[in-house]
Structure 1
């Protein structure tokens, strides 16, 4: 059920900001371990998340809503799932290029649609499912580089490390989305933006505690590197907080599957950053895959109207 039209601009902005953040984070990851690169977005994102909540409270004053006891549980589960998903995505980058690594994770849209139906009973109309199919075809075209593949070749490709880590990343991102939506529903009050920002602050604080504790216990030397990269890492934190605020607003106001389908527009921004910011070449198959992804987004929007 869509409770506010703000979900659409929030989702589109989230896709753009996330692609930008991922491009910068990939550069940071060259000098950090997987866990350290993941911690960057939470540790440096927390001050900005607090700033977003504080700024919104100044613009829209009022009493803070109360939260159900399940609120913390959903924040904790969503935060942990996102840590796992982010680490898997960084591992996918190590096997293939930036665009393809992200493309594998975009199977999250179809995984999210299935999981949100099974766990939350959220249903989509036929046009939205057509959009999912179109988007998945686009993602697969991006992930295979436009090569002609028979069923045996396709199954072999799915067994490659990049595919396994990317698809697993998408699964945990889908779980993250479901947990965050449930967390926003546990926050009382009628302001979904305020609920999203409260969930954001609590979740990022828990993520900083979880991954920071792990890093100090297992990779203490990496913590010094995280602090030493504050100039670039600060940019990652800012973009991470902005992107998550937009995603959480989308989840608070629309079904998870719909937000994630439209969120596939991130692939378009990813191609742009991969080409212009990271200097990666854009092939014809990537353009064709992009068109399919965009077509899937259009179908999903048509189904939502």
Structure 2
């Protein structure tokens, strides 16, 4: 059940911020390792999440929910899945360009819908399921850019390293969304938005400790690089926290599948960033795929 219309602008803001953050991470990839490039989103995102939490708390009031082992367990699982998904997404960029690498991960909308159906019992209007299918077709068009649209071409595109990394990232992002939803639901209180921002800060803090400890142990030079590149890395963290706040608010107010499906509009933002920020030229097929995704998003919203 949708609790508030705020889920839609929150999701659109999340998609925009995530696209911008991922584009900046792609540029950092030339200076930082996969793990270090993933770390900066949490290292600099946790302080931003704290500012968002305190700001919202001061404006809206209310009582911060108590920490429970159930909440911490789900938050930890969400954090670990997000770390692994982010690393796989960055790895996908190394095999194909930014737009196509992101396209593979966008199968997360369909994967999230199935995971949420099984794990949370969330079902959607038939028109929304049609929209998810249309959006998935758009993702396939993007991922098959430059290949023939045949079963053989689809198989060839699916088994390449970029596809496997992107599909794995999509699956883990789907699990992340479900665990975030469960973490939010385990908190007691009347304000789901306060719960979402609170859970974001706690999870980002745990992610900073986990991935920071790993990078310090395995790649100490990269940890120093993540700290010394703070001028660009900190913006990645800020955008990450803003985007995550949007996602987590959406998950608190609407079904996971609905939020993730509308979030596919990120592919339109991705093509714009790919063209004007990273100077990559999307092909006509990629533009057609993006428009197909938009059509799917409109169907999802119409069926809500």
- Give the TM-score band, short-chain normalised: over 0.9
- Is the CA contact (8 Å cut-off) linking 1:67 and 1:186 kept in structure 2? no
- Is the CA contact (8 Å cut-off) linking 1:23 and 1:273 kept in structure 2? yes
Q: 1:100 aligned to 2:110?
A: no
Following the alignment from structure 1 to structure 2, what is the Cα–Cα distance between the partners of residues 159 and 185? 37
Residue ranges of structure 2 left out of the alignment (5+ in a row): none
Q: Which residue in the other structure is 2:227 paired with? A: 227
Report 1:253-292 matches (<5 A): 253-292=253-292
Q: How much is the aligned-residue C-alpha RMSD, in angstroms? A: 0.9
Residue ranges of structure 1 left out of the alignment (5+ in a row): none
The TM-score normalised by the length of structure 2 is 0.98
Q: Which residue in the other structure is 2:209 paired with? A: 209
Q: Which residue in the other structure is 2:247 paired with? A: 247
- Is the CA contact (8 Å cut-off) linking 2:18 and 2:243 kept in structure 1? yes
TM-superposed deviation, 1:146 = 5.2
Following the alignment from structure 2 to structure 1, what is the Cα–Cα distance between the partners of residues 206 and 33? 20
Q: 1:196 aligned to 2:196?
A: yes
TM-superposed deviation, 1:147 = 3.2
Q: 1:61 aligned to 2:50?
A: no
Report 1:1-305 matches (<5 A): 1-145=1-145, 147-304=147-304
Number of equivalences: 304
Following the alignment from structure 1 to structure 2, what is the Cα–Cα distance between the partners of residues 28 and 64? 36
TM-superposed deviation, 1:127 = 0.5
- Is the CA contact (8 Å cut-off) linking 1:135 and 1:294 kept in structure 2? yes
SS at match of 1:95: coil
Per-residue CA deviation, residues 250-298 of structure 1 (Å, 9 max, x unaligned), is 0011110000000000001011000000001021111111111000000
SS at match of 1:149: coil
Following the alignment from structure 1 to structure 2, what is the Cα–Cα distance between the partners of residues 277 and 157? 26
- Is the CA contact (8 Å cut-off) linking 2:117 and 2:123 kept in structure 1? yes
Following the alignment from structure 1 to structure 2, what is the Cα–Cα distance between the partners of residues 114 and 146? 29
Moved over 6 A (4+): none
